[in-house]
Chains A and B, each alone.
Chain A
Amino acid sequence: MNGTSEVDHAEGTANRAGETVVSANGVEKTYDSVLPFTRSVEVLDGATLRVERGQVVGIMGENGSGKSTLMGILAGVLDHDAGEVERTGAVGWCPQEPRLYDRLTVDETFELFGTAYGMSDDEIVDARAWLTDVLDFERFRDRQIRHLSGGNRQKVNLSVALMHEPDLLLLDEPYTGFDWETFLAFWDLTEELRARGVGVAIISHIINERDRFDVVYELHEGHLHRQEIGDDDSLSSEPTDDVACERTASFVDETGAGSGQRATAGQEESE
């Protein structure tokens, strides 16, 4: 958004770089089954993670490894069975499946969620102008969500998470369905948010984008393995929760080679 207050806000948050905006320590989550002939599924087993202001963190892992569950717990949408999650500041959550009202227009969606965030009418208008311009969907403002293409729906989904200028942004495969231009615009936006001091966590399948992250966590068998991008050539062999497990071979191969070609924008497989 434009304006002096925005600059002040950006400087204020950027000055607190290094401050943790969300941390998870020893988080456990099991989906219990109450029905016969179905089994309980243990998804997270002592997962530990930290996101700081101005940091862009990638969360990767195989399909069904529990990335979306972890994101839901970090956002406060899902309960966890054990461990601790601490958040500071406002949270923006962009779920993998847009949780929007299909029969509202884009403008009405901004209005409704802006009201939920406690924004004034002017702030909502500013946020809408900023995001529809950056993500290039201004011409669809009067269209109902159900009549938008998957990519444009995802832009609205992302915008709802961003419109109140959160301190922490949790994005679950945010660029699904984006065209190439929008994909690049998304990363420009992410860099802008990083500069403002926003902590960003992104679930991603696009391995060859890993250099854009400051830190990458791989989720495997309920544990998170941390890697500082640029500090080391390979992933840490030890999980962050000190529980040994074998990492995903394909992930290590692809990151080691630095040429993973699993998917392109809009084509990655959904979890």
Chain B
Amino acid sequence: MSAVHRTLEGIQASTRSFVREPFTVVLLVVLPALSIQIYGVGMGQFPDVGIFAVSGSVAAVGRITGAVFATGALAGVLGLFQMISARHADRRLAICGFRGVELVTARFATVAVASAVVSVVATVSLIVLVDAPIRAPLAAFGGLAIAGAIYGLLGIVVGSVLPRELEGSLLLVILADVDNVFASGLFGIEDSVTQFAPLAHPHAIVTQAVVEGSLATDHLTPALGHLSLFALLSVAAYTYQLESGGDA
């Protein structure tokens, strides 16, 4: 039995588990649009008198911020629930013969697919709900996909060390919210601080794609750097929980 066959079987099983939860699918469709609209309308209530350090209209940046938040929070929670629902079964599968690397690959591929789906839904919602047409939709999708992937991986980390649905979800949503406030640039927080916020660079990529219609190349490398860092952290956390018998 080849490693590729086992890995594909693992991916197939994880994906089936993911799509067979109707509530997850409903959240996936509804939450991005809801978040984009709420942030857009909410921020649009503020008078645009130059107190916010944004490059576009406050309402547009509000909608972008809503899209990034929804992508991050949703992908993070999906990653968390993937880990919690499968942690004990993953350990049994490892005892039965799956290698660690095959399980890691299967689990991460599923989280990557889930994050990509969330990003597609958020991009489409943003295109529909933002006032002006988006001139660089692929760049906007790229930024959201990186945001989703980073938080999907963060969900794996949280699910490995804090395997509790309520506490883990709260932690991820609050983190995504605070991170997003830093990332939005709305309050002109010092760049030397905000550059370390995981969503700062994806947010900048999406903003430039929507407002200026171009790819923010200067933010691409640091965004991918964050992604790599969280990939390493999540592999370490997942391996730890797999070796600890799923009872960490």
A, B from the same assembly: yes
Which of A's residues lie within 8 Å of B, judged by CB?
Answer: 72, 75-78, 91, 93, 95, 97, 99-104, 108, 111-113, 115-119, 144, 160, 164
Instruction: List 20 contacting pairs A-B, 8 Å CB cutoff, sorted by A.
Output: A77-B95, A78-B245, A93-B95, A99-B88, A99-B91, A101-B13, A101-B85, A101-B86, A101-B89, A103-B16, A103-B20, A111-B9, A112-B13, A113-B96, A115-B1, A116-B93, A117-B96, A144-B20, A160-B96, A164-B96
Contact with A102, one of B85, B91, B95 (Cβ below 8 angstroms): B85
- Which listed residue (A72, A102, A115) contacts B6, Cβ 8 A? A115
Give the Cβ gap from A74 to chain B, nearest Cβ, in Å.
12
Q: Which B positions have Cβ atoms within 8 angstroms of A?
A: 1, 5-6, 9-10, 13, 16-17, 20-21, 85-86, 88-89, 91-93, 95-98, 245-246
Least Cβ distance of A91 to chain B in Å?
Answer: 8
Contacting residues, chain A, for B88 (C-beta < 8 A): 97, 99
In the complex, which residues of chain A have a beta carbon less than 8 angstroms from the beta carbon of B10? 112
Q: Do the beta carbons of A99 and B89 come within 8 Å of each other?
A: yes
Return chain A residues, CB-CB under 8 Å to B245: 72, 77-78
- B13 contacts A93, CB within 8 Å? no
Establish whether residues B91 and A112, one from each chain, have CB atoms under 8 Å apart when the complex forms.
Answer: no
Q: Is A93 a contact partner of B16 (Cβ separation < 8 A)?
A: no
Which residues from A are CB-within-8-Å of B20?
103, 144
C-alpha gap A99/B86 in the complex (Å): 9
Given A77-B91, A99-B91, A103-B16: A118 touches B85 (CB 8 Å cut-off): no
Q: Is the beta-carbon distance between B97 and A99 smaller than 8 angstroms?
A: no
Q: In the bound complex, do residue B97 and residue A117 qualify as a contact, i.e. CB atoms below 8 Å apart?
A: yes
Residues in chain A near residue B13, CB distance under 8 A: 101, 104, 108, 112
A113 close to B95 (CB less than 8 A) = no
- Chain B residue numbers with a CB within 8 Å of A116 are 6, 93, 96-98
Shortest Cβ gap from A133 to chain B (Å)? 22
B6: which A residues are within 8 A, CB to CB? Answer: 115-116
Whether the Cβ atoms of B16 and A118 lie closer than 8 Å is no
Docked Cα-Cα span, A79 to B189, in Å, equals 49
Cβ–Cβ < 8 Å partners of A102 in chain B? 17, 85
CB distance A100 to B95 under 8 Å? Answer: no
Contacts of A93 in B (CB 8 A): 92, 95
User: Are A112 and B9 also in contact (CB < 8 A) when A77-B91, A99-B92 are?
Assistant: yes
**Looking across the interface, which residue of chain B has its beta carbon closest to that of A78?**
B245
Interface-centre pick from A72, A99, A113, A116 (highest chain B CB count, 10 A): A116
Q: Nearest chain A CB to B42's CB is how many angstroms away?
A: 36
Report the Cα distance A93→B88, complex, angstroms: 13
State in angstroms the CA–CA spacing of A113 and B17 once bound together: 15
Tell me, in angstroms, the Cα distance from A124 to B102 when the chains sit together. 20
CB distance from A185 to the nearest CB of B (A): 24
A2 to B243, CA, bound (A): 36
| CA–CA, A144 and B88, complex, Å | 17
User: Is B9 in contact with A115, judged by CB distance below 8 angstroms?
Assistant: yes
Determine if A103 and B1 form an interchain contact, defined as CB atoms under 8 angstroms apart: no
A124 to chain B, nearest CB (A): 11
Contact B89 A118 (CB under 8 A): no
- How far is B13's CA from A78's CA once the two chains are assembled, in angstroms? 25
Question: CB-nearest residue of chain A relative to B99?
Answer: A116
Q: Is the CB of B9 within 8 A of A118?
A: no
Residue of B with least CB distance to A120: B1
